[in-house]
Amino acid sequence: MCTFTLGSCLLWLAVIVVVLCLLVKLYLCHAGTEIIVPLVDSRTAFKAEEITDNSMVLTTDIGFENRGKQCATIMDAFVRPQLPYEQYDGLETRGHAELVGVPREDDYFEAYIIQAKGYKGGLDKAAIRAQVRLTARKGMSLKEAVAHMPDFNFQLIWLETGRMPCHYRQVRIEVPAAEVANLLGVELVKD
């Protein structure tokens, strides 16, 4: 006759739990995760929109692919321009991000599911429109302010999730002053 003690029962229970955890881990490794890849190198050229005497909106569309085995969700995205007044105080910069084809007037980003690569019946790509509003300061017109502006960058920051817990990622996009000046038909001034 076989008798079990409390200690041996707890040991067997611990072994079973460890084996189950390992099996789940192996399954998850096989099932994979989401892999969101920003396609920065193939982003669209900057376009000038909403041009007034003292402001303009620069836009570029950045594609995203899910190259993983599981669907992913881009839950939030925003644009953070990096042109502090210490670098150049002639322009105020404000950023905005939205899904291409889903324009919004508020600063809310509508979450979007990107299916796994090769998933039948779903899209494995998305595109986010990054917008930077440039507003002239110190009594200058937009053309005067842009003529003196330096190159600057902005970060596109997004919150993604899928099988992995949600986490922020970012890419940095350079905004050449010459390109902005060209959009306005202005020549840059060497300061």
Mean pLDDT in residue range 23-38: 79
Confidence (pTM): 0.81
Cα separation, 96 vs 107, whole angstroms: 7
- Provide the residue ranges of all domains of the chain, joining segments of one domain with +: 34-184
pLDDT of 61-110, one tens digit each? 999 998 888 889 999 999 999 999 999 999 999 999 999 988 888 888 98
Look at strands 55-66 and 125-136 and give their pairing: antiparallel
Give the other-Cβ count within 10 Å of 163's Cβ: 14
**pLDDT recorded at residue 1:** 52
- Burial group, residue 130, by CB count within 10 angstroms (0-12, 13-18, 19+): buried
- Inter-residue contact 132 to 93 (CB < 8 Å): yes
Cα separation, 94 vs 135, whole angstroms: 9
Mean pLDDT in residue range 11-25: 87
Q: How far is CA 6 from the centre of its chain?
A: 54
Percent of the chain with pLDDT over 70: 92
Report residue 3's pLDDT band, with 50, 70 and 90 as the boundaries. low
DSSP state of 93: E
pLDDT of 110-138, one tens digit each? 899 998 876 665 557 889 999 999 999 99
Given a cut of 90, whether residue 29 has pLDDT beyond it is no
- Rounded to a whole number of angstroms, the distance between the first and last alpha carbons of the chain is 95
Domain 34-184 is of which CATH architecture?
Answer: Sandwich (2.60)
